[in-house]
Each structure stands twice: as structure tokens, then as C-alpha cells.
Amino acid sequence: MEFSLSAEQRELKEAAAAFARAELNRDLAEREEAGEFPAEAWQACARFGIQGLPVPAELGGGGSDIVTTALVMEALGYGCRDNGLIFSLNAQMWSIELPLVRFGTAAQQQAYLPGLVSGQLIGVHAMTEPDSGSDAFSMRTRAERQGDDYVLNGTKLYITNAPVADVVLVFASHPGRPRPAGVSAFLVDKGTPGFAVSRNLEKMGLRTSPMGEVVLADCLVPAAKRLGPEGAGMAIFHSSMGWERSCILASALGAMQRQLDACVAYARVRKQFGQAIGKFQSVAGKVADMYLRLEAARLLVYQAAWLAQQGGPAVSQAAAAKLFTSEAWVQSSLDAIQIHGAYGYMKEAGIERDLRDAVAGTIYSGTSEIQRVILSRMLGL
């Protein structure tokens, strides 16, 4: 087994971390408090090439393989303390860019990918509804064919990037057809009659990543905007989720490394009872546990990304990586606060932000409970 990185991968990872530290943390406390989307940082990421990482070079992207992409996102998580920005980047890359790469026509790819890669367009997909979350294919949003168009009606909820999105990949079911085979996906542009984002949702964490409710009321979408064949929605969604679960928490590895480094540095200089607190076993044990979680999570994420890169099935590995890393990030965030004591609990320290952001990782892209269901079924239960 080969665990070393190429010289090119190491250089790119270091460059991404340096870029993130220099460009992506400005006014973070104020932006986070206001729930403000960092448009300038988004454009900076596009100039660096983040949005284009997984897009083939012939389609205007960086053409990076999935392992290299995960490494860059890990570096971004280390250098950038704005987890909301990184979450929005992940949402666009995995939920609309890659579906366009795999299932889009040449015309669709040309219409959307250059803008998504350059930062001129922002996109995401819309699957979740008020009554369908983990049970995604029980959706009520309908698509009815009318000549050369489809008429979409329904509501999508908790949609990342919706308030700022230029294009949304909407999943809808065809009345009278069995699901999930009766589900299709449609590229719906902002400004399309019948398409509206009704509200901007306030969140506990990831506050710089906007989230909204999408309403479709007799929304007329040309058949040319359907992504993939009619009824291909399940294949598109699962393809997206396979990549997403393998990579979306790569940035959490960087955040956990950043937490670990900060805790080690603090435990060396903070003194109580005449010695550095790192000399107390209760504190040293927490630091050791943070290291163990990080290294285990890193191996799981790297393995899932590598298997996906080989083109082989990685369902259980992606589920394990997503489940373990998301829960490890929450626990390490709690430990980081505890090690820093009262200071860690203060907003000015910026440590509690990671905890609020980390909790969402156990919910998005399939809850921890769903990942356990996937794993148990893969084991024959």
C-alpha cells in the first residue's frame, strides 16, 4: 500500500493552505455573526482554481483526480476558518458540477460549467423537502411533460446556496410512475417563471453558507434542461452522493489538524498549579484522543477517495468515512473547547465556531443514522 504523496500533490496542498490563510479569513467574525455569504472569498477561490478542481480540463476545469481534490480541500480546511464557505464550495462541486460532467449534454456542459468553474455562476442541487429528508425519494415535487417542456410543482427545503444560486438542479417525480425509477433531474435557472427562493434560513452553524427554501409553482422548464434521460434521477443523485460522502469532510481533516495544533500550543504555555496544563494526564489524554481521531479519519477519507478514483464500488468506505469523520470532528471540537477552558467557550476565541459547524456534518449528505444503516446492510443485516 502506498501512502506517500507526489511532489506535485504536496506543493498544491501547501499552496492551498497558504492561500486560505492569506485570503479567506478576513472579517470572519463579523460575516459569521451576520450570516453573510463571502462573495469576494468565493471569487478568490475560483481564481485559485478550487471550483474547477474535479472538472476535466477539456471542460474548462483543473482536471484533478479525486484524491488530489480531497487533499486540496483538506488544506483549505486547515488554512480557512470559514467552514461555511468551504461547505458551499463542496455543495457546488459535488452536487451540480460532477453531475454535469457525468450526465450533461455538450450543450449543458458548455452553458454551465465555465461559469461554475470561474465563479461567475453559483449552483447546487435541490433534493430535500419538508416531508422527505433521509427518505429522499418520497418527494412530492412533480414534473409533468407538456410537449417540449416540463411543468414543475413543489417545495424544496434546507437547500444550501439557494439564496445566491444562479442554477439549481431540481429532482422531481413523474406522477403515476414507481419511484425511485420515476424521478428525473432538471436544471432550473434563477429568473425562470414559477421558480422562487422564498426565505433565507438561519442556522446554528455554517452561517456564511446561505440556505433557503425553493418553491416551484407551475415552473416551465424546457426538456433540453433535463439532466440525463428521463427517470435517471436516482442514478444522478447516488453518483453525486458517492463522491460527496467520500470528499465533503476532507476539509474537516484540515480543521481537526488546526484544532490539534492549537491545543498542543496552548497546553504548552497555559499554566495551572505551577506547570503547563499539558503535563496533566487529563489534558494530555484529550490531545492524544484528538490525534487518534484525526489519523483514523484521514485514513478512512483517503481510502474512500482512492477507491472512488479507481472506479470501484466504495459505498461502505464512503459511508464509514462520512460517519466517523463527522462524529470525530464534533468530539474533537468539544475537546478543544475543554482544553481551552473558559476562553474556549468565548466567541472571541473562535473555537466554539468549529463545534457549531461540526454538528451539521452528522446531518448533511446523509445522517449518521443513515450511514449506519448503509454499513449494516453492506454487512448483510
| Rg of the Cα atoms in the chain | 21
The per-residue b/e assignment along 53-86, b for 16 or more CB within 10 angstroms, e otherwise, is bbbeeebbbbebebbbbbbbbbbbbbbbbbbbbb
DSSP labels for 341-357? Answer: HHHHHSGGGSHHHHHHH
Task: Name the fold adopted by 124-230.
Answer: Butyryl-CoA Dehydrogenase, subunit A; domain 2 (2.40.110)
pLDDT band for 134, please (50, 70, 90 cuts): low
Q: Is the pLDDT of residue 290 over 80?
A: yes
pLDDT at site 91: 95
pLDDT at site 317: 93
pLDDT band for 135, please (50, 70, 90 cuts): confident
105-130: pLDDT as tens digits: 999 999 999 999 999 999 999 999 98
Q: Of 17-31, 181-195, 267-281, 302-316, which range is least confident?
A: 302-316
- Beta-carbon contacts of 331 under 8 Å, excluding residues fewer than 6 positions away, are 289, 293
Extents of the domains making up the chain? 7-122, 124-230, 249-378
Separation of alpha carbons 275 and 189, rounded Å = 61
Query: Which residues belong to the active site?
Result: 244
pLDDT at site 326: 97
Above pLDDT 90, what percent of the chain?
A: 87
Mean pLDDT, residues 11-32 taken together: 97
The per-residue pLDDT of the chain, averaged, comes to 94
More confident residue, 152 or 311: 152
pLDDT at site 98: 94
Q: Is the pLDDT of residue 310 over 90?
A: no
Please say whether the structural domain 249-378 has been given the CATH code 1.20.140.10.
yes
* DSSP β-ladder status, 183-189 and 211-222: unpaired
Separation of alpha carbons 344 and 335, rounded Å = 10
Q: Is the pLDDT of residue 199 over 80?
A: no
Q: Do domains 124-230 and 249-378 have the same CATH topology?
A: no
Written as nine digits, the cell of 197 is 427562493
Q: Is the pLDDT of residue 18 over 90?
A: yes
pLDDT at site 231: 93
Mean pLDDT, residues 169-174 taken together: 96
Separation of alpha carbons 244 and 91, rounded Å = 8
258-276: pLDDT as tens digits: 999 999 999 999 999 999 9
pLDDT at site 204: 97
pLDDT band for 136, please (50, 70, 90 cuts): low
Mean pLDDT, residues 224-245 taken together: 88
Separation of alpha carbons 151 and 133, rounded Å = 23
Q: Is the pLDDT of residue 241 over 90?
A: no
Q: Is the pLDDT of residue 176 over 70?
A: yes
55-81: pLDDT as tens digits: 999 999 999 999 999 999 999 999 999
pLDDT band for 3, please (50, 70, 90 cuts): confident
Mean pLDDT, residues 170-197 taken together: 92
pLDDT band for 145, please (50, 70, 90 cuts): very high
Q: Is the pLDDT of residue 381 over 80?
A: yes
pLDDT band for 11, please (50, 70, 90 cuts): very high
| Backbone φ, ψ for residue 49 (5° rounding) | 110, 10
pLDDT band for 239, please (50, 70, 90 cuts): confident
| Residue 249 near residue 301 (C-beta atoms within 8 A) | yes
CATH code of 7-122, in short, is 1.10.540.10
320-368: pLDDT as tens digits: 999 999 999 999 999 999 999 999 999 999 999 999 999 999 999 889 9
Written as nine digits, the cell of 160 is 444550501
Mean pLDDT, residues 245-269 taken together: 95
